[in-house]
Structures are given as C-alpha cells and as structure tokens.
Amino acid sequence: MKRTAVVIVTVMLFSVIASYAVAGSKPAKIKEGLDFPVGDVADLEKFYCFGLRPWDNVGNDEIHGGIDLVATYSPSSTLIGRVPIIAPADARVERIIESVSGAGVNTLVVVLEINKYWYIVCNFEPQTTDPAIFEEQRRSVVVHEKQRVKRGEFIGELVLGSVNPGSYPHLHFAFFYKHPDDTLDYIYENYLQMQRSDGTDLAPTTGPGSPWKPRDLEMETTFYCPYEYSTPQAKAAYDSLPRIDANQAICNCICAYGSSERDCGICK
C-alpha cells in the first residue's frame, strides 16, 4: 500500500510540474499576413484590382479601396450558387452593416477588427435587386457582432442568383487603418472624406499596434492593398486569376496606388 501511495504522489507531482511548464512557456507566434478570404479559389473567375484612379468614369476621382473577387456565375442557371467566405486572420466581428453600393444595390458588410488600428472589410455584393436573394444573403452570414473568429473560420457565403444584367457578384475585400481621430461611424458615413494617414500617425510598425509592418508607400493613404499584406499562399491564389482594371482590360499591377496607367511600380 505504501509503494502505491508513493507512485500516486510521484505521478501527481510530475503532472503539476508539467502544467507549470506549459503555463510558463512562451505564447505561440501569431501568424502574419492575410489568408485568401474565399474558401476555394476555383469558385472565382477573376478579380478587379485595388486603387485604380479614377475607378469610375463620373469624375469624382474615387479610389477603389479593395479587391473585387468575382464569383463564377451563369445567368442562365436557375440554381442559387454559394461561395464560402472565411476569416483571413484572427479578429473580432466589429460591425455587420447593410449598405447600398455605387450601383444602387444592397450589400452586406462584415467588418473584422484585428486591433484598434487595423480592420478587414468583407463586403458581400450579390448584385441583385431580388429581395428573396438578398434575404438569403442575410441568412448566409453566420457570424454576429462582437464574436471572435479564428483565421480560416467560416463566416458566411456570397449568394449567387438573379444578378442584375451587366453586374458581377463579388466579395469586395479591403484592409484599412483607422486614424486615431476618426470613429468607425464617421468612416462608414463618408469613407471618401475620412482622414488619411500622412505616415506620422500610423500605429507602431511592430508589436500590438500594427499587424505586419505597414509598407512606406510615400503617399498619404488609409486603405492598404490586401495583396501586399497577404500570405504567400494567398498571393499564389490571387496570381492564379486574371486581374482586371476599371476599363475591363488586363491590369499589370494588383496594387495600383494612384495609377491611371495600370502600372504603379509597386508590384508586378
């Protein structure tokens, strides 16, 4: 009986020591870079590039502050299509907003907060005026505000059906920095007039203030090209697709900051 008691005590002692060792170990390094937000790149046919100026043709010099990931869609199909969307990084669901796009159709915007400076936007744009299809889009988003999500976690589906003629159903994917003096509400109300960083008020380039060393673009900006901050695997997914500019031509540069020549010199 005494030997049994000694063995039990010894095992318990080792268990306690092991638990202290695990508790005192260094935390795992946070993975850097944005994962590709679409679960299967095979569900896409092309994407529209970031930051071409002017993006539209009405003269307001609007910057396209994200990448439009265009779903493969057949107008003749009577079936509702679905494209799974995943969280590109560990984050918190800060807001879920219904909005109206420049094309005058409803969109569903999921804003993910990486930290108090940096945010991801997943804007579900089914490009439909059919209320039943948009209701299906609402139901397809399975996360809720203030929920924490892990990298790669399923957050919803882009719903494909009754797409307006000439439109393309897509996920508008964006990555932006929030100026300390701006609120998210102000940004949502008037994102074209939001304050731009001048490079002196950015969060720290290392540590908790910033995710992955913001690149010096030598210009004032708030929206950053998601491709520039993507993992190698995500970049390979982008590179496998045709890249298109606002004029429906092949885009030479994915991240065309301030460029009207489709070649900004930042990336090839």
One pLDDT digit (tens) per residue for the chain, 268 residues: 444 444 444 444 444 334 444 444 454 456 778 999 999 999 999 999 887 665 555 555 556 788 999 999 988 888 899 999 999 999 999 999 998 877 788 999 999 998 887 899 999 999 999 999 999 999 999 999 999 999 999 999 999 999 999 899 999 999 888 777 778 887 777 655 556 655 566 555 444 445 555 555 555 567 778 888 889 999 999 999 999 887 788 887 787 765 555 555 444 4
What is the extent of the structural domain holding 222?
72-239
- 108 and 137 in contact (C-beta within 8 Å)? yes
Query: Looking at residue 257, what is its pLDDT?
Result: 61
Would you say residue 34 lies in a domain? no
Query: Looking at residue 178, what is its pLDDT?
Result: 79
Would you say residue 42 lies in a domain? no
Would you say residue 254 lies in a domain? no
Would you say residue 24 lies in a domain? no
DSSP 8-state code for residue 147? -
Report the domain count for the chain: 1
Query: Looking at residue 159, what is its pLDDT?
Result: 96
Backbone phi and psi for residue 48, each to the nearest 5 degrees, phi listed first: -95, 135
Would you say residue 189 lies in a domain? yes
> Pairing state of beta strands 154-160 and 81-86?
antiparallel
Query: Looking at residue 13, what is its pLDDT?
Result: 40
Q: Which of 111, 117, 122, 106 is nearest to 39 (CA)?
A: 122
Would you say residue 5 lies in a domain? no
Non-local CB neighbours of 74 within 8 Å, separated by 6+ positions: none
pTM of the complete model: 0.80
Would you say residue 33 lies in a domain? no
Would you say residue 49 lies in a domain? no
